[in-house]
């Protein structure tokens, strides 16, 4: 039988709790039960409340409790100790508050494993207001643990009403909570709103119907605190990436606010650049256009165009960020079409920068953006745009060529492929998208040097470069085979054969005979 350790011997408890907390690997229910048979929860809780001056005891006890409640057996004991959880949520010690928040998470996670309703316990002990208090005024770890517990709370339909009270005057309504706390507290509440939004479409709907997205809009419109504005922009970026965001964000004034941000010369360039990134993320979703007034999108595109005109000679970093965002917009058919058919066409900045070798970062960003606009990221059947957009694309590239020493589109493309590997990679992507256009296909065939580079098995040494070059070969070959007139042209037979050989070789096989060859030698003799 195991020796019973005295409650009054904190040294033995410290040693045992440390060993238990640092036990490597997964802790079974049996191991947890064995530890609690030696040191029952009342002993641990009492020691935590009266830890005295024993160095390291609080850390060891908190760590062991976290391990205990992370098991099904440990979680099944939580309902019996709810008064202690409540005390922990309001404790002075940040470590104790943190473990109390994590204990609530464990109760919610394993609620199906107990016969006691977690919802009833949370309501009975008024736990939610305490979690909100931990969120607002706890340290970073406490706030994170509290947010996780509230997220689990909102994840169940039966508990949704706790987080989203029907009465807007409730003190726990997140709008009221945000209104009564510091700027840091407000940012944490806004971060919680974003986390809740990502749970499911039904919870996202509850967030929207509670008018909580307007909290973020209002904070973004407040230009008094740059740090807060930047934090809110990061939250909007997280929202924009969410699968539930398209329909709900399109109903807000977010696009208009972001447009005013990128047009505001009095704020920092980092804020404008981040706002532009969010615009790119939103407009990179084809279904966003289904829920958004096209005039609003055109206003955004016009604002971006004006901003780019100023940035070309001022801020290279912000220019690159804006061009990258345009590349995101260009991944969709609607987005690419708007960039090309706006008046003047916003895509002209991308085309000009793509073939301007005086700024490597600008050129690289623009080449990738232009590749997106031409459809490299879209399916082969969706690469071509409408007649107006296609004609504008052709004219923009020809105009860029006429203003350069290369004179022709084929000269521009060759100059890109003759540069360093990163630029060359972007060039492969651009040709892959462009070659679906017959005029571009003929430009490529007019320069044997282009074919030589894209079929050269030794041209690339990186995996991504090899794959991009091989994809480029495949795109050129498919475009050629889709034109019976060109396929039957004897003058192109050699090019077709060269492309076919490069494709059959695959992206990584640089040599025709790459199989391992047996080596035969005589054995060493003594």
Give pLDDT tens digits for 132-173.
Answer: 999 999 999 999 999 999 999 998 888 899 999 989 899 999
Q: Is the model's pLDDT at 422 over the cut of 90?
A: yes
CA–CA dist 309, 263 (Å, integer): 12
Q: Are 101 and 131 in contact (CB under 8 A)?
A: yes
The dihedral built from the CA positions of residue 402, 404, 407 and 413, taken in this order, carries a sign that is negative
What pLDDT score does 359 carry?
79
* Distance of alpha carbon 370 from alpha carbon 374, whole angstroms: 6
Cα torsion angle, 149, 150, 151, 152, sign: positive
What are the tokens at 19? 């060993």
Specify whether the CB–CB gap between 415 and 406 falls below 8 A: yes
Higher pLDDT, 10 or 153: 153
**Position 398 pLDDT exceeds 90:** yes
Q: Is the confidence at residue 174, as pLDDT, over 70?
A: yes
Report the chain's mean pLDDT, rounded to a whole number: 87
- E-strand stretches of 340-435: none
- Give per-residue pLDDT as tens, 188-237: 999 999 999 999 999 999 999 999 999 999 888 877 778 888 999 999 99
For residue 387, what are the contacts with CB-CB under 8 A and spacing of at least 6?
A: none
CB 373 within 8 A of CB 339: yes
Global pTM reads: 0.83
> What CA–CA distance (Å, rounded) separates 268 from 228?
13
**CA-CA distance, 297 to 254, in Å (whole number)?**
11
Residue pLDDT, tens place only, 46-78: 888 776 677 888 888 999 999 999 888 988 899
- Asked whether 395 and 352 are in contact (CB, 8 A), the reply is no
User: How far are the Cα atoms of 399, 400, 408, 412 from residue 405, in angstroms, in the given order?
Assistant: 12, 10, 9, 9
Banded pLDDT at 314 (limits 50, 70, 90): low
Asked if the model's pLDDT at residue 512 lies above 60, the reply is no
């Amino acid at each position: 039988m195991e020796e019973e350790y005295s409650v009054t011997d904190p040294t033995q408890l410290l040693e045992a709790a440390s060993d238990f907390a640092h036990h490597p690997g997964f802790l079974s229910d049996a191991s947890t039960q064995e530890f609690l048979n030696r040191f029952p929860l009342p002993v641990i809780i009492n020691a935590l409340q009266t830890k005295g001056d024993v160095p390291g005891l609080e850390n060891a006890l908190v760590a062991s409790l976290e391990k205990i409640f992370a098991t099904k057996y440990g979680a099944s004991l939580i309902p019996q100790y709810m008064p202690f959880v409540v005390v922990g949520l309001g404790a002075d010690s940040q470590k104790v508050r943190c473990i109390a928040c994590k204990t609530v998470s464990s109760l919610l996670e394993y609620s199906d494993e107990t016969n006691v309703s977690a919802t009833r316990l949370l309501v009975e002990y008024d736990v939610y207001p305490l979690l909100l208090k931990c969120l607002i005024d706890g340290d970073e770890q406490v706030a994170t643990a509290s947010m996780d517990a509230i997220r689990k709370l909102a994840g169940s339909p039966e508990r949704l009403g706790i987080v989203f009270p029907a009465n807007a005057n409730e003190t726990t309504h997140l709008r009221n909570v945000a209104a009564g706390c510091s700027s840091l507290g407000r940012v944490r509440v806004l971060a919680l709103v974003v986390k809740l939004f990502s749970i499911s479409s039904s919870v996202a709907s509850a967030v929207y119907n509670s008018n909580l997205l307007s909290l973020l809009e209002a904070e973004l419109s407040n230009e008094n605190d740059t740090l807060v504005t930047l934090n809110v922009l990061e939250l909007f970026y997280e929202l924009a990436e969410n699968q539930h965001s398209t329909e709900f964000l399109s109903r807000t004034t977010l696009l208009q606010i972001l447009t005013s941000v990128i047009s505001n010369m009095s704020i920092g360039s980092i804020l404008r650049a981040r706002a532009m990134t969010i615009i790119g993320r939103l407009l990179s979703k084809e279904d966003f256009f289904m829920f958004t007034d096209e005039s609003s999108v055109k206003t955004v595109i016009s604002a971006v165009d004006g901003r780019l005109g100023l940035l070309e000679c001022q801020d290279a970093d912000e220019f690159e960020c804006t061009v990258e965002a345009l590349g995101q917009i260009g991944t969709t058919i609607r987005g690419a079409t708007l960039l090309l058919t706006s008046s003047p066409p916003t895509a002209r900045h991308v085309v000009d920068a793509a073939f301007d070798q005086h700024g490597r970062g600008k050129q690289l960003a623009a080449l990738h953006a232009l590749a997106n606009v031409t459809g490299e990221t879209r399916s082969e059947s969706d690469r071509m745009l409408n007649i107006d957009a296609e004609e504008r694309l052709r004219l923009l590239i020809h105009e860029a060529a006429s203003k350069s020493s290369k004179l022709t589109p084929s000269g521009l493309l060759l100059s890109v492929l003759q540069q360093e590997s990163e630029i060359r990679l972007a060039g492969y992507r651009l040709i892959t998208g462009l070659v679906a256009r017959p005029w571009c296909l003929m430009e490529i065939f007019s320069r044997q040097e282009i074919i030589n580079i894209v079929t050269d098995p030794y041209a690339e040494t990186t995996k991504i470069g090899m794959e991009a070059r091989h994809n480029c070969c495949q795109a050129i070959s498919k475009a050629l085979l889709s034109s019976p007139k060109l396929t039957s042209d004897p003058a192109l037979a050699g090019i077709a054969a060269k492309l076919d050989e490069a494709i059959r070789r695959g992206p990584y096989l640089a040599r025709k005979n790459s199989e391992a060859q047996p080596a035969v030698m005589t054995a060493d003799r003594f």
